[in-house]
Amino acid sequence: MIIDLRSDTLTKPTRFMLEAMFNARVGDDVYGEDPTVKELEAKTAALFGKEAALFCASGTMTNQIAIKCFTQPLEEVICDEGAHVYYYEGGGIAFNSSASTRTITGNRGVFTADQLIANINKNDIHNPTSSLVVIENTANRGGGRCWELAEIESIAKVCKEEGLYLHLDGARIFNAIVAKGYSAGEVGSYFDGISVCFSKGLGTPVGSVLLGTKPFIQKAKRVRKVLGGGWRQAGYLAAAGIYAIDNHIDRLADDHKRAKIIEETLKHCHYVKTVVPVETNIVIFELTDAISEAVFIQKMKEQNILCASPGKQMIRFVTHLDFTDEMLDLLVGKLKNFKNSF
């Protein structure tokens, strides 16, 4: 048995999800004729209180489309320095939108209204014009940290006052919703654009949805087409998303519980320097100088446990749908005894 905790993208669809996909009614989505895609879009939009939605192949695509729609060349996107849109999307902001990026050093991915204000460019021709703010909830490189509603509200207030668009990279927004107890509708009200991923904790094979106003989504559809993202009988994939909304949201609490137990275990391991406080399904910790991240990953791999490294001396475990209590017990045992293996 291999325990794969490199990411929550590694899950495979369950039998019931596959049945839902198999039974989907489909049509050509480029013609706007796939009923299941339409159903997923309507369902997700309603959940977050948004007018319209667009089903896309990935979260990178939904984020990049949103950035393209909310900026013009010579403008600037403001985000945290660890933000996926900046750190993990291959320089797409510059490539797709000819926009520059201003990064803020937040606290585990969360920055304040004052920090935002300090990074907004005003009418000076030396500077790119600030036009868009992106926040990430949960913050991936922040160890799955959640934004509080009050923190989002204060950022949204500044954006409104300064005439900036606000986009949510909500790849793991359902993890935040389950952990914090706020509703999708409450979160949705603060944003011009929202990207929601179904292939992370929700366990579908492929797909993300972009949400916003009707004119925004109409424009987004044009950009998706130009990027080669218009797809045909995508309803088979949308059916997995519908199934996930109905069945896989509440269970995220189990992933969070298991991540907490991993955190508690790691706190008492000699080879661990610090553990980033766990709030959702991501566990990030720092190794002592006794072992490097490469050796740790290799030693774990030899014991059929896969993990990833988000940086020097850093290790990441992500809990998910295919990670059971039985696997957790096994992992905890191995982590406790790990000091004997190097």
Ligand X SMILES: *Cc1c(COP(=O)(O)O)cnc(C)c1O
Closest of 104, 143, 60, 94 to residue 311, by C-alpha: 143
Size of the site for ligand X (CB under 6 A): 13
Choose between 96 and 129: whose C-beta lies nearer to ligand X.
96
Closest to ligand X by CB, 67 or 335: 67
Return d(Cα 166, Cα 231) in angstroms, integer.
27
Q: Any residues with CB less than 8 A from the CB of 321 and at least 6 apart, and which?
A: 8, 11, 14, 201, 203, 248, 251, 255
Stretch that binds ligand X, among 93-101, 194-202, 209-217, 233-241 (CB under 6 A): 194-202
Q: Which is nearer to ligand X, 169 or 254 (CB)?
A: 169
CA 178/CA 173 separation, integer angstroms: 9
Q: State in angstroms the smallest separation of the CB of 270 from ligand X.
A: 31
Q: In angstroms, what is the minimal distance from the CB of 140 to ligand X? A: 4
User: Which residues make Cβ contacts (< 8 Å) with residue 39, sequence separation at least 6?
Assistant: 238, 242
Measured CA to CA, the distance from residue 308 to residue 293 in angstroms comes to 9
Which residue's CB is nearer to ligand X, number 84 or number 256?
84
Interaction residues for ligand X, span 42-101 (CB under 6 A): 58-60, 63, 84
Smallest separation, CB 172 to ligand X (Å): 6
Taking the complex as a whole, the smallest distance from the CB of residue 186 to ligand X amounts, in Å, to: 20
Residue nearest to ligand X (CB): 59
CA distance 2 to 22: 28
Q: Nearest approach, Cβ of 277 to ligand X (angstroms)?
A: 18
Instruction: Beginning with the edge strand found earlier in the chain, give each strand of the sheet holding 314-318 in spatial order.
Output: 272-275, 282-287, 314-318, 308-311
Among 29, 34, 80, 136, which residue interacts with ligand X (rule: CB under 6 A)? Answer: 136
Q: How many Cβ atoms from other residues are within 10 Å of residue 330's Cβ?
A: 16
Instruction: Tell me which of 178, 197, 220, 331 binds ligand X, using CB under 6 A.
Output: 197
Footprint of ligand X on 229-288 (CB under 6 A):
none
Angstrom distance (rounded) from CA 208 to CA 171: 8
Closest to ligand X by CB, 272 or 318:
318
Give the C-alpha separation, 203 to 342, whole Å: 35
Q: Which is nearer to ligand X, 128 or 144 (CB)?
A: 144
Minimum Å gap between C-beta 21 and ligand X is 18
Q: Would you say 57 or 262 has its CB closer to ligand X?
A: 57
The nearest distance, CB 79 to ligand X, in angstroms, is 11
Taking Cα atoms as reference points, which of 196, 190, 195, 88 lies closest to residue 140?
88
Among 101, 130, 175, 208, which residue sits at the site for ligand X (rule: CB under 6 A)? Answer: 208
Q: Give dist(CA 330, CA 255) in Å, integer.
A: 16
Q: Nearest approach, Cβ of 34 to ligand X (angstroms)?
A: 20
Site residues for ligand X, window 162-191 (CB under 6 A)? 169, 171
**Range in contact with ligand X (rule: CB under 6 A) among 178-186, 196-204, 301-309, 313-321:** 196-204
Residue 41, C-beta contacts closer than 8 angstroms, at least 6 positions apart: 52, 53, 54, 55, 209, 238
How many angstroms separate the CA atoms of 11 and 203, rounded?
6
State which residue, 57 or 272, has the beta carbon closest to ligand X: 57
Angstrom distance (rounded) from CA 161 to CA 177: 27
Which parts of this chain interact with ligand X (CB under 6 A)?
A: 58-60, 63, 84, 136, 140, 169, 171, 197, 199-200, 208
